[in-house]
Amino acid sequence: MTETFPKNGSNRDRVLERMRAMAGEDADWRGGKTWSLVYYGGDELAETLKAAYSEFFCTNGLSPFAFPSLRRFEHEVVTMTAELLGGGPEAVGTMTSGGTESILMAVKAARDRGRAERGIERPDMLLPVTAHPAFEKAAHYFQVEPVHIPIDSDLRADVNAARDRIGDNTVLVVGSAPGYPHGVIDPIEELAALARSRGVPCHVDACLGGFLLPWMRKLGHDLPAWDFSVPGVTSISADLHKYGYAARGASTVTYRDESYRRYQFFAYTDWPGGLYASPSMIGSRAGGTIAAAWAALHFLGEEGYLRLTRQVLETTERLKAGIAAIDGLEILGEPPASVFAFTARDADVYALAEGMNELGWGLDAQHLPPALHMMVTPTHAAIVEPFLRDLGEVVERVRAADDGSRAGIAAVYGMAGALTDRTPVRELLIDLLAQLLPGRAGDHA
Ligand SMILES: *Cc1c(COP(=O)(O)O)cnc(C)c1O
C-alpha cells in the first residue's frame, strides 16, 4: 500500500532503513546483471564522486555569479571535453542534465539558427532511423519535421538517401558515433560534407562514444573520423554519465564555435522577478552533478580512462567471441566499440530475452530487426563466463520449446513488427506509463 503524507518526521536511520528495504527488488547492477543503465567505474571513484557531490550538495548552477566554483568546474569540464572531441580553441559548450537534454539543445539551436539566418519557417532535420529517440522528442517538442534516413546493409546511415532528401528547409543533419541500437558509427565524413555543401549544421551524437572513441584511438584502434576534425561537424553531444563515469545527471553539448551555441541560450527581460537568462532546458541546476563531473575527470585522468576503456574492450571481445560461438547466434554489423546487438537465426530472440531475464539478466530487446542489446561496462569483466553459460543454455531451451506461441514482450514485439502503423503500440506504451505512476484511486499496490 502506498503511504499517505506522514504526519510526523522520522529519524535518519529509520528513513534510510525503510528505503533500503524497498530497494530489495532493484536490478542487480553491482552483480553485472544490467546493461546500459549503470556505468560504474569502481568503488574508489564512486566514493570520490559522492564526496564531491556532497561538498556541493546545496549549491545551484542556475546563477553563474553566486558560485564561481561551479562556473569554473563547468568551464573546465566543457573545454576539456571539447579538446577530447577534436574541437579547436573556438569550441564552446555547456553541461546539461543528460544526453537527452544535450540533444534537445542541439536541435533547438539548429532550428533557431535556421530561422534567424536562413528564414526557415518549416524546419526539418535528416535523422537516420537508428538515431536516439531523444531526436524524435526534440522534433516533437520543437516542431522540427524528422526526415528519416534508412540504414545500409552495414546498419549505417545511407548517405545516398540523405543526399536525396536534404532540402531547403533542412536545419540539421544528424549522425551517431556510435548509434545505440547496433553500436556502429554512421558515415560522419560523408554526412558532414553533404550538410556543409548546403550550409546546414551537422550534429554528431556521441553520447556513448564521446568518452570512449577518443581513448580507443589513443589505444591504437583504427576508427573513421567522426569528431570536430571533420569539416562540417558543428555540434557533438557526449555523456559524462555514461563512459565519462561521472554521477548521473551529467552530459555535454559542444559547438564548433559561439556562432552556433548562441542559439541554444534563452533570455527574458520582461519578468517582474528580474532579468532572466538560462543556458539550457532546465532552470535550477544541481551543483553536485557539476562538481562530481569535474571530480571524475580529475580522479581518473587520461590514464584512468585508458585503463577503463581497455578493460571494457577486452570484456567486449570475450563476450562477442562467446556469443558468436553459440550455435545460431550472430552479432549484427561490425560494431567497433563496446556496444553491440546480436540476434538468433533459428530461435525467437524475445523468448531468449525472457529466459535470460528469468535468470536475472536484464537484457534489453529491440526490433527492426529483432535483436538483443549489449552495452559493456567495467562491471561486466567479472560475469563473462556465467553470462555465456546461461545464454547457451537458454538458447537451447528456447529452440527446443518453440511452439510458435508468443507471450510477454515477445507478444508485444510480435504485434509491433506485424503492423505498418504502430499507433496502437504507441497508445499502449502511453497507457503503461500512466499505470506505472497511478493516482490514489488507481493504486492497487
Ligand atoms: C543514452 C543515449 C542518449 C540519451 O542520453 P540520456 O542520458 O539517456 O538522456 C542519446 N544518444 C545515445 C547514442 C545514447 O546512448
Q: How far is CA 34 from CA 44, 343, 351, 383, in A?
A: 21, 19, 18, 11
pLDDT exceeds 70 at position 295: yes
pLDDT exceeds 50 at position 445: no
Q: What is the dihedral of CA 207, 208, 211, 213, to 10 degrees?
A: -120
Residue nearest to ligand 1 atom 14, measured at CA: 207
pLDDT exceeds 70 at position 55: yes
Give pLDDT, residue 443: 62
For residues 282 and 266, give the distance between their C-alpha atoms in angstroms, rounded to a whole number: 11
Which residue type sits at 314? E
More confident residue, 296 or 441: 296
Which residue type sits at 260? Y
**Ligand 1: residues whose CB is within 6 Å?**
98-100, 103, 132, 134, 176, 180, 205, 207-208, 239, 251
Q: Are 367 and 413 in contact (CB under 8 A)?
A: yes
**What sign has the CA pseudo-torsion 304, 306, 307, 313?**
positive
Chain mean pLDDT for the chain: 95
Residue nearest to ligand 1 atom 4, measured at CA: 99
More confident residue, 423 or 264: 264
**What sign has the CA pseudo-torsion 355, 361, 364, 369?**
negative
Report the pLDDT averaged over residues 364-384: 95
Pocket residue to mutate for ligand 1, from 102, 132, 364, most atoms within 8 A of Cβ: 132
pLDDT exceeds 90 at position 74: yes
Pocket residue to mutate for ligand 1, from 37, 38, 207, 338, most atoms within 8 A of Cβ: 207
For residues 98 and 17, give the distance between their C-alpha atoms in angstroms, rounded to a whole number: 30
Report the pLDDT averaged over residues 231-243: 98
Q: How far is the CA of 149 from the centre of ligand 1 (A)?
A: 19
Q: How far is the CA of 383 from the centre of ligand 1 (A)?
A: 25
Q: Which residues contact 87 (CB under 8 A, 6 or more apart)?
A: 227, 228, 254, 256
pLDDT exceeds 60 at position 444: no
Give pLDDT, residue 68: 96
Q: Which atom of ligand 1 is nearest to the CA of 239?
A: 7
pLDDT in tens, 107-166: 999 999 999 999 999 999 999 999 999 999 999 999 999 999 999 999 999 999 999 999
Give pLDDT, residue 262: 97
Q: How far is the CA of 99 from the centre of ligand 1 (A)?
A: 5
pLDDT above 90 covers a percentage of the chain that reads: 89
For residues 170 and 175, give the distance between their C-alpha atoms in angstroms, rounded to a whole number: 14
Q: How far is the CA of 339 from the centre of ligand 1 (A)?
A: 13
Q: How far is the CA of 273 from the centre of ligand 1 (A)?
A: 35
Q: Which atom of ligand 1 is nearest to the CA of 176?
A: 13
Pocket residue to mutate for ligand 1, from 104, 137, 239, 251, most atoms within 8 A of Cβ: 239
More confident residue, 106 or 444: 106
Residue nearest to ligand 1 atom 6, measured at CA: 99
Other Cβ atoms less than 10 A from the Cβ of 229: the count is 12
pLDDT in tens, 386-441: 999 999 999 999 998 877 777 777 778 877 877 888 888 899 999 999 999 998 88
Pocket residue to mutate for ligand 1, from 100, 105, 185, most atoms within 8 A of Cβ: 100
Q: Which residues contact 37 (CB under 8 A, 6 or more apart)?
A: 27, 29, 362
Q: How confident is the model at residue 318 (pLDDT cuts 50, 70, 90)?
A: very high
Give pLDDT, residue 409: 74
Measured distance between the N- and C-terminal CA atoms of the chain, rounded to whole angstroms = 5
C-alpha cell, 126: 535528416
What pTM did the predictor assign?
A: 0.96
Residue nearest to ligand 1 atom 8, measured at CA: 99
Q: How far is the CA of 340 from the centre of ligand 1 (A)?
A: 15
DSSP 117-152: HH--SS-EEEEETTS-HHHHHHHHHHT-EEEEE-B-
Q: How far is the CA of 100 from the centre of ligand 1 (A)?
A: 6
